[in-house]
Amino acid sequence: MTETGRFASALAVCCALFLAAAGCTNNPATGGSMFSLVSENEERAIGAEHHPELLNEYGLYQERPQVNAYVAMVSARILAASDISSQVLTVTVLDTDVVNAFALPGGYIYVTRGLLALANNEAELAGVIGHEIGHVAARHTAQRLTWARVAEIAVTVVDASMSHLEYGGLATDLSGLAAHAVIAGFSREQEIESDTLGVRYLARAGYDPYAMATFLRQLERHSDLLDALSPLDHDPSILTRWFATHPRTAERVVLAAQEARSTTDAPVLDREPYLRMIDGIAYGERADQGRILERRFVHPAWRFAFDVPAGLAMFRVNGQVRAYDDSGTLVTFNGVEDIHGGVTPHLYRWADELRVRVDGLETFEVAGFQAAGGRFRASPDGGDRLYRMVAIALNPGRVARFLFSMPAGEAGGLGDLAEQTLASFRRLSADEAEATGPLRVRVVEVAPGDTIDSLSRMMAFEDRRRERFMVLNGIEEETDLAPGMLVKVVRLE
């Protein structure tokens, strides 16, 4: 037998031993048996461990307690119609514009205010929650964790028994696999199963089960709009939010609609109560995080703004503001609190965070603020790049940080990139800060003679107002409007 064959044989034997020893448990949602090395008590402990981390990263939406109470009420109604009606759920609204919903093991379910703003009726919200309850009921995370543990243990055994071969160290490579499995995306089959369960729970609770399909269509259109707003080729995971953790939904829409055909009559949508509930909900980025306006970033709370050069597209990624183009030019910005004082010491502390050595240290002023900068060279992901880092002391305790980067072959433009951006950095007056304040969803009644174009003019955006309005309201043509109906617009507070 070849060395490869011995490795595969050892791994297969190890997995078979675990399968035989662990036995199976009953799946509460499907009624079938499932292989699991994770108990329900352990699932609850895992969810409880990760819950504070998510709250720390995204924040709890607290400014409108009635929103949280409404989501809890809908969740309780769906839970009562589910296969785990006796289980305690912890349902949380996260304070982020990211359009998403997800579940942690042990009954921890999350929806974002960005998703609440996109939904158009209570049944759509219920469908989202039903889908996530489906993941909990089917114990999808337990299944994923089980196979991650089998892989870790099996590879450890193989490492020990075949350490003289080139496969040694696989256990080290797979370390943390189980931890990653807690929050990684579910498989395609698990997502489809949760769609089926969610539609079933919608029907049992008396909601219109077609709401699952209409919201999935809403998500598709939202994703397409985000794509259209970017002039660049990009990694879809940066923009599409929901689809970073859920498969593309065209097929899922069809499957959900097919399932819906066999369900209840006289279903509930509850459009008006839902829209009244979200009237005034925050829209877009949190006020304390600043706002992206095409190529401009404005921070009303910290009272500054800057522009990036033409050709760069700006997005918020992982808590940072990034602007980039297809040639590899990148501007990364974030603002931090630093009570230690002195912009030069801060620059050195920042370099330590990045684990780089700064050359060419210099001090200067940017819009009247003290600043310090330096350069370094690094090879992230194997690519040779040059960087310029600049820290600006806005006032005692607050620092604005820029990291400008280009491929080493394009380094001649690095100075121009930094200078153009820094030259645009400026203070905001009180009036300017107020004029770029928080955005909110406002619900208005369609009057006789109103059109998509007339209502779109109420949207507080400079571009694609018509498309934004139509996607936000799930409207696809003029005939979808009728006098007296409620629609959503986005306005400055």
pLDDT in tens, 153-199: 433 443 444 333 333 333 333 334 344 444 445 677 778 788 888 88
Residue 350 has a pLDDT of: 93
Sign of CA pseudo-dihedral 155, 161, 162, 168:
positive
Residues 320, 377, single domain; the answer is yes
**Residue 165 vs residues 4, 7, 120, 478: alpha-carbon distances, Å:** 10, 9, 59, 68
Cα 416 to the center of its chain, rounded Å: 33
Residues 345, 273, single domain; the answer is no
Residues spanned by the domain of 327: 288-430
- Asked if the structure places residue 107 within a domain, the reply is yes
Strand 90-94 versus strand 108-112 pairing type:
parallel
Domain final residue, candidates 278, 296, 325: 278
Residues 449, 419, single domain; the answer is no
Residue 263 has a pLDDT of: 63
Residue 250 has a pLDDT of: 55
Cα 271 to the center of its chain, rounded Å: 26
The whole model's pTM is what? 0.75
- Asked if the structure places residue 408 within a domain, the reply is yes
Domain final residue, candidates 217, 246, 278: 278
Residue 257 has a pLDDT of: 65
Burial class (CB in 10 A: 0-12, 13-18, 19+), 268: middle
Residues 344, 196, single domain; the answer is no
* Residue given tokens 């970033």 in the structure block: 297
Residues 294, 211, single domain; the answer is no
Neighbours of 446 (CB within 10 A): 16
Neighbours of 386 (CB within 10 A): 18
CATH of the domain at 398: 3.40.1000.10
Number of alpha carbons in the 13 Å side-chain half-sphere of residue 112? 21
Residues 241, 325, single domain; the answer is no
Residue 232 has a pLDDT of: 52
- Asked if the structure places residue 92 within a domain, the reply is yes
Residues 102, 208, single domain; the answer is yes
Q: Label each residue of the chain as H, E or C.
A: CCHHHHHHHHHHHHHHHHHHHHCEEECCCCCCEEECCCCHHHHHHHHHHHHHHHHHHHCECCCCHHHHHHHHHHHHHHHHCCCCCCCCCEEEEECCCCCCEEEECCCEEEEEHHHHHHCCCHHHHHHHHHHHHHHHHCCHHHHHHHHHHHHHHHHHHHHHHCCCCCCCCHHHHCCCHHHHHHHCCCCHHHHHHHHHHHHHHHHHCCECCHHHHHHHHHHHHHHHHHHHHCCCCCCHHHHCCHHHHCCCCHHHHHHHHHHHCCCCCCCECCHHHHHHHHCCCEECCCHHHCEEECCEEEECCCCEEEECCCCCEEEEECCEEEEECCCCCEEEEEEEEECCCCHHHHHHHHHHHHCCCCEEEEEEEECCEEEEEEEEEECHHHCCEEEEEEEEEEECEEEEEEEEEEEHHHHHHHHHHHHHHHHHCEECCHHHHHHCCCEEEEEEECCCCCCHHHHHCCCCCCCCHHHHHHHHHCCCCHHHCCCCCEEEEEEEC
Residues 111, 220, single domain; the answer is yes
- Asked if the structure places residue 373 within a domain, the reply is yes
Residue 260 has a pLDDT of: 67
- Asked if the structure places residue 267 within a domain, the reply is yes
User: For the chain, how many structural domains are there in total?
Assistant: 3
Task: Name the phi and psi angles at 408, rounded to 5.
Answer: -55, -35
Burial class (CB in 10 A: 0-12, 13-18, 19+), 360: exposed
Q: Which of 316, 378, 356, 289 is nearest to 347 (CA)?
A: 356
Low-confidence ranges of the chain (pLDDT < 50): 4, 7, 10-11, 13-22, 35, 147-184, 233-243
- Asked if the structure places residue 1 within a domain, the reply is no
